[in-house]
Amino acid sequence: MTLTGEGVLPHRVSADRLRSLVREDRVHRLLYTDPSIFELEMDCLFGHTWIYLCHESQLPNPHDFVTTRMGHRPVIVSRDKRSEIHVMMNRCSHRAATVCRSASGNAKSFQCPYHGWTFRNDGELTGVPWPDGYAPSFKKSDWGLTQARVESHRGFLFATLNHDAPSLLDHLGPAATFMSQWVDRHPGSDVVLQSGANRMVYQGNWKLAYDNSADGYHPAFSHRSLLKMAGREGESKDMVYFGTSPDEGPMTVQDLGNGHTLLDQRPAYCAPGTTSPERGSFWAQQRVGPGRERLEAVIREKYDDADVLLDLTVGSQMNLNIFPNLLIIGNQVQVIEPLAVDKTQLTWWSTTLTGVPPEVNALRMRHQEDFPSFGEPDDQANFEEAQRGLAIPEVEWVLFNRGFGIPGRQTLDADGVQTAPVTDELPMRSYIAEWLRQLECAP
Ligand code: FES
Ligand code: FE
């Protein structure tokens, strides 16, 4: 199936109309409030480009599966008996009922609960009850589950319904290198997503979360209480450096192409394995947290490479955003799931590492409770208040103009990556250009 299939675009918004709503330094409020634009995004963007679905560590064994969505489409991600991964529409080819209704599990086949059609976990239709009721022209091989194209990079699984899309690696471009840097913080270890995800729903458009994920302008104000609490321990503590004149510091935001963006806090941290008189060490810059002192003492007592291990418990200091729905933040993987034009689910998946002592993963998990509990509520309150403001029809524009039109403020490297001071709204301008490109050329 391709997106040119009949009936795929019931909510067509013209390319001219979309272009009229996007300017170089601003976007129209309708991008966040218009149900017909939202439906176009769900049909085309969340089907036409590569969409992050899940991590391979969630499907470690043959016959494991998870269910998720591509826009409004329910999908099954499964491993077959040869460990090959398939992404299939969770939609019975008989009369459309979902064939799998569990979030995850292990199954060689899925039997549709409605009339009992059975599909192998690679999508083939293998069983139809009382087959004598079908004409000789009926062939099971014609009626398997509809398949998407699937590719992965460093354990991150993506799918698209556009069989003409560039390869995932081409689509990721320079972002693939940053994904590898994130995975390779401890060479030899694999990253494992833990099943106890932290799900939150806010009343606002999904793009408010993507806008925010590389926004270095807001922490000083939105996360004032968090910065104040951490600042009691010194100016170099995690995120405190956002509080005063962050553009004068070393942090940056980057446009990685194809809508992917990065907010890089790493330059504000000691490099892992090093120390400095002002900052201490990568480990020392982490904020206070429950269990920190006790677990640090155990790790220092038991392991010779304690300094290296302690650094691994601290977040990566990267906000790496893979357009449109994957945010790799600290040590967490955050997924954006649009539910309605003004309703979005955000899921934070915590990660552990293979091949490190259990105390290291325990401390790593404790640190990952920090920002989703202390910081994310600040952000989601602002997303909901922004959605309320966006409802005012007379005030039309949302500004992304910070850093725009100032000669010499951005630099461009040989890979085509643009870099700007950390409070610039370069990431929003760049991903919206990709948003428009994807939607205006949608079939
Ligand atoms: Fe699935 Fe009828 S809808 S068997
Ligand atoms: Fe924030």
Q: How far is the CA of 118 from the centre of ligand 1 (A)?
A: 9
Residues with CB under 6 A from ligand 1: 92, 94-95, 97, 112, 114-117
Any idea of the CA torsion for 307, 312, 316, 320, to the nearest 10 degrees? 150
The CATH number of domain 186-440 is 3.90.380.10: yes
Output the pLDDT for position 273. Answer: 81
Residue 441 has pLDDT above 80, yes or no: no
Q: How far is the CA of 127 from the centre of ligand 1 (A)?
A: 11
* Residue range 375-433, pLDDT digits in tens: 999 999 999 999 999 999 999 999 999 999 999 999 999 999 999 999 999 999 999 99
Q: How far is the CA of 105 from the centre of ligand 1 (A)?
A: 21
Alpha-carbon distance of 173 to 417, in angstroms, equals: 10
Task: Please report how many Cα atoms fall inside a 13 Å half-sphere around the Cα of residue 341, on the Cβ side.
Answer: 15
Alpha-carbon distance of 443 to 44, in angstroms, equals: 8
Residue having the nearest C-alpha atom to atom 4 of ligand 1: 115
Nearest ligand to the CA of 93 is 1
Q: What is the 3-state secondary structure (H, E, C) of 260-302?
A: EEEEECHHHCCCCCCEECCCEECCCCCCCCCCHHHHHHHHHHH
∠172-175-181 over CA atoms, to 5°? Answer: 130
Alpha-carbon distance of 347 to 105, in angstroms, equals: 19
Segment 326-341 shows an average pLDDT of 97
Nearest ligand to the CA of 213 is 2
Any idea of the CA torsion for 32, 37, 42, 46, to the nearest 10 degrees? -80
Index of the ligand 1 atom closest to the CA of residue 116: 4
Question: How close are the terminal C-alpha atoms of the chain, in Å?
Answer: 13
**3-state DSSP assignment of residue 104:** strand
Residue having the nearest C-alpha atom to atom 2 of ligand 1: 115
Query: Best substitution site from 109, 111, 117 to test ligand 1's pocket, by max atoms within 8 Å of Cβ?
Result: 117
**Sequence ranges of the domains in the chain:** 50-160, 186-440
Segment 260-283 shows an average pLDDT of 87
**Edge-to-edge order in the sheet of strand 125-127:** 109-111, 118-120, 125-127
What DSSP designation does 249 have?
A: S
List the structure tokens of 423. 């409070």
Burial tier of 366 (Cβ tally within 10 Å: 0-12, 13-18, 19+) = middle
Segment 316-324 shows an average pLDDT of 97
What share of the chain in percent tops pLDDT 70?
A: 97
Output the pLDDT for position 395. Answer: 98
pLDDT category at 443 given cuts 50, 70, 90 is low
Alpha-carbon distance of 217 to 402, in angstroms, equals: 9
Higher pLDDT, 163 or 194: 163
Output the pLDDT for position 269. Answer: 86
pLDDT category at 371 given cuts 50, 70, 90 is confident
Any idea of the CA torsion for 406, 408, 410, 413, to the nearest 10 degrees? 160
Output the pLDDT for position 115. Answer: 98
Index of the ligand 1 atom closest to the CA of residue 92: 1
The sign of the torsion formed by the CA atoms of 256, 51, 326, 63 equals: negative
Query: Is the separation of the CB atoms in 332 and 349 below 8 Å?
Result: yes
Segment 2-7 shows an average pLDDT of 45
Output the pLDDT for position 2. Answer: 41
Output the pLDDT for position 244. Answer: 85
Alpha-carbon distance of 246 to 367, in angstroms, equals: 24
Nearest ligand to the CA of 90 is 1
Residue 96 has pLDDT above 80, yes or no: yes
Burial tier of 141 (Cβ tally within 10 Å: 0-12, 13-18, 19+) = exposed
Q: Determine the topology of domain 50-160 in CATH.
A: Rieske Iron-sulfur Protein (2.102.10)
pLDDT category at 11 given cuts 50, 70, 90 is low
Output the pLDDT for position 1. Answer: 38
Residue having the nearest C-alpha atom to atom 3 of ligand 1: 95
Segment 253-265 shows an average pLDDT of 97
Output the pLDDT for position 4. Answer: 44
Residue 372 has pLDDT above 80, yes or no: yes
